[in-house]
Amino acid sequence: EAQVTQNPRYLITVTGKKLTVTCSQNMNHEYMSWYRQDPGLGLRQIYYSMNVEVTDKGDVPEGYKVSRKEKRNFPLILESPSPNQTSLYFCASSFQVNYGYTFGSGTRLTVV
């Protein structure tokens, strides 16, 4: 089944403890992206990647890191999480940037 897989689905962590949210797609998509979704603010792009080893900042990149060493994987790294990063995170991929995205199931992160 064609899909974008995110893990974990739910995560509660403490301020300052490094964490990684994984994202993997099995559709051979070139384009991958991370979004966060907050009430009243909608979906905001964190980082995106046009292809392997090519990443760029989105609207709200502060406090996040990404890497794209393989085409299928695009992990999101929070080096020192803070409570304002409590949010619902979505990974998405598409064949090319002009095509519609397929979204993962989401990761609900709580930083206390």
Residues making contact with other proteins (CB under 8 A): 33, 35, 40-45, 48, 50, 56, 58-59, 90, 97-106
Comparing CB distances to other proteins, the nearer of 64 and 90 is 90
Provide DSSP, the chain.
---EEEE-SEEEE-TT--EEEEEEESS--SEEEEEEEETTTEEEEEEEEEETTEEEE-S--TT-EE--SSSSB--EEESS--GGG-EEEEEEEESSTTSPPEE---EEEEE-
Nearest residue (CB) to other proteins, 53 versus 56 = 56
Residue with smaller CB distance to other proteins, 28 or 99 = 99
